[in-house]
């Protein structure tokens, strides 16, 4: 945002009385005409008796020289210089509105609110509310106040523009009056020179009139010249003050325009950025949490893969059945075979005894079998049931 810089004009310099004359130019033709009037007046003054009422009347004219212009200029300056005082005392001051707007803007500066994403804490340690929500609530509540200040500034800007228009009119009038006063000063200075010359000429021929001219006419002319130059210096001071006030008004108008546009836009940008950053922070937190979860999953998966792979390779490099188990199995088989062999050996003698016994009994039974067989044959042939 561009900085609000108001360039203060330099203070009005004091115009010395001795430099007041000649600030407003007079045309050569006008000077010639004025000098002609002075010569005519001096000729008439010298021609009358120094003790006559006519001489006194002429001297009184010198005493009133430029009084109308002085009165008009004094009245004009007073009317203008009253304006800024009344404006400062009135309501709706532009300066006051700018100060009020500044305080409001400073109160809404997001950077002054601390970490807006951190929770608010009651008594410094108890979580209480949300700083970001509280900030935007404050911004919303300040909107109407800011709008009222902007309306006041716009009204003040219109007043300043109207004042500058009035100032331009006042300066034109003052310039015209200063031109007339400059002509009177030229008359007064010309009278001073002409009267001093005439008094010097009359020193030899009419010293009484020469003295009267010096003591009355020349004294009043020089006194009047001093008054006229003083009034011109004051008037020039007022004229320069007009320009200073106009420049001040222009700077205030710039300040109002910048405050109404740049400052408000900067505030809205700051609020928008704060809101966007808050949203980004929330999304970033979610992404960070998701990345953390993903990283944890990848880590746990890799740990599981590492463990299983090691076990698989360990299993692949080791025997399916443990050697000890096989050894026990073969030992059992060998023991069984030995037991069978031993059984066979032990059974041979028993089997021989059994065979001998069976053979003896068989032989013994043969006679019985033969007799039994013969009886069966006889009975079958004599039986009525025998088949033919």
In this predicted model, what pLDDT tens digit does every residue of 90-119 receive, in sequence order? 444 666 767 776 777 666 655 555 544 455
Domain-embedded: residue 65: yes
Percentage of the chain beyond pLDDT 90 is 17
Separation CA 73–CA 235 (nearest Å): 7
> Half-sphere exposure (CA, 13 Å, Cβ side) for 239?
20
Cα dihedral sign, 259-261-264-269: negative
221, 253, 283: which is the final residue of a domain? 283
> What is the Rg, in whole angstroms, of the alpha carbon atoms belonging to the chain?
67
Residues 329 and 275 in one domain: no
- Residue 241, number of CB atoms within 10 A of its CB: 17
Residues 272 and 350 in one domain: no
Closest CA to 82 of 238, 215, 276: 238
Domain-embedded: residue 360: yes
Residues 334 and 259 in one domain: no
Residues 160 and 239 in one domain: yes
Phi, psi of 259 (to 5 degrees): -65, -35
Burial class of residue 220 (count of CB atoms within 10 Å of its CB; 0-12, 13-18, 19+)? buried
Residues 342 and 215 in one domain: no
251, 283, 315: which is the final residue of a domain? 283
Domain-embedded: residue 50: yes
Residues 128 and 183 in one domain: yes
Domain count, the chain: 2
- Residue 215, number of CB atoms within 10 A of its CB: 13
257, 283, 309: which is the final residue of a domain? 283
Angle at which helix 219-258 crosses helix 53-63, to 10 degrees, equals 20
In whole angstroms, how far apart are CA 128 and each of 138, 139, 310, 319, 378?
17, 20, 52, 66, 128
Place of tokens 């007041």: 20
Domain-embedded: residue 345: yes
User: Residue 96 sits in which domain range?
Assistant: 17-283
Q: What is the DSSP letter of 1?
A: -
The residues of the chain scoring below 70 in pLDDT are 1-23, 76-95, 97, 101, 105-142, 145, 267, 270-271, 273-275, 277-285, 314-323, 326, 375-388
290-321 in b/e form (b: 16+ CB < 10 A) is eeeeeeeeeeeeeeeeeeeeeeeeeeeeeeee
Residues 331 and 244 in one domain: no
Residues 184 and 177 sit within 8 Å (Cβ to Cβ):
no
Burial class of residue 275 (count of CB atoms within 10 Å of its CB; 0-12, 13-18, 19+)? middle
Domain-embedded: residue 153: yes
Domain-embedded: residue 301: no
Residues 94 and 42 in one domain: yes
Closest CA to 229 of 78, 22, 58: 22
Domain-embedded: residue 250: yes
Per-residue tokens: 192: 């001073």
Residues 239 and 330 in one domain: no
Residues 165 and 227 in one domain: yes
pLDDT for position 307: 78
Residues 47 and 163 in one domain: yes
Q: Which residue spans within the chain are E strands per DSSP? A: 119-122, 126-130
Residues 118 and 192 in one domain: yes
Residues 204 and 211 sit within 8 Å (Cβ to Cβ):
no
H-only helix segments in 48-130: 53-63, 67-89, 94-107
Domain-embedded: residue 45: yes
Separation CA 97–CA 86 (nearest Å): 17
């Amino acid at each position: 945002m561009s900085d609000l810089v108001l360039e203060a004009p330099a203070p009005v310099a004091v115009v010395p009385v001795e430099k007041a004359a000649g600030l407003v130019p007079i045309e050569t033709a006008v000077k010639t005409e004025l000098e002609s009037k002075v010569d005519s007046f001096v000729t008439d003054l010298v021609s009358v008796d120094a003790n006559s009422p006519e001489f006194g009347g002429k001297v009184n004219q010198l005493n009133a020289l430029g009084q109308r212009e002085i009165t008009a200029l004094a009245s004009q300056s007073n009317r203008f210089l009253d304006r800024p005082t009344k404006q400062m005392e009135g309501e709706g001051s532009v300066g006051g509105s700018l100060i009020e707007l500044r305080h409001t803007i400073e109160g809404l500066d997001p950077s002054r609110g601390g970490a807006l994403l951190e929770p608010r804490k009651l008594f410094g340690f108890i979580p209480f509310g949300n700083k970001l929500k509280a900030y935007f609530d404050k911004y919303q509540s300040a909107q109407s106040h800011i709008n009222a200040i902007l309306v006041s500034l716009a009204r003040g800007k219109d007043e300043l523009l109207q004042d500058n228009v009035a100032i331009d009119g006042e300066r034109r009038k003052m310039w015209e009056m200063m031109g007339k006063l400059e002509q009177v000063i030229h008359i007064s200075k010309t009278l001073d020179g002409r009267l001093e010359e005439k008094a010097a000429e009359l020193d030899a021929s009419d010293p009484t009139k020469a003295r009267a001219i010096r003591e009355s006419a020349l004294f009043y002319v020089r006194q009047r010249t001093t008054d006229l130059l003083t009034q011109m210096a004051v008037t020039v001071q007022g004229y320069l003050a007009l320009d200073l006030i106009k420049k001040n008004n222009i700077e205030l108008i710039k300040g109002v325009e910048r405050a109404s546009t740049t400052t408000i836009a900067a505030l809205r940008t700051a609020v928008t950025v704060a809101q966007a950053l808050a949203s980004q922070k929330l999304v970033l937190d979610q992404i960070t949490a998701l990345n953390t979860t993903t990283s944890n999953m990848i880590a746990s998966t890799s740990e599981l893969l590492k463990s299983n792979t090691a076990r698989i390779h360990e299993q692949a490099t080791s025997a399916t059945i443990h050697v000890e188990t096989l050894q026990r199995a073969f030992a059992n088989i060998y023991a069984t075979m030995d037991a069978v062999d031993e059984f066979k050996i032990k059974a041979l003698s028993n089997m021989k005894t059994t065979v001998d016994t069976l053979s003896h009994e068989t032989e013994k039974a043969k006679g019985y079998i033969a007799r039994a067989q013969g009886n069966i044959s006889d009975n079958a042939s004599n039986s009525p049931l025998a088949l033919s």
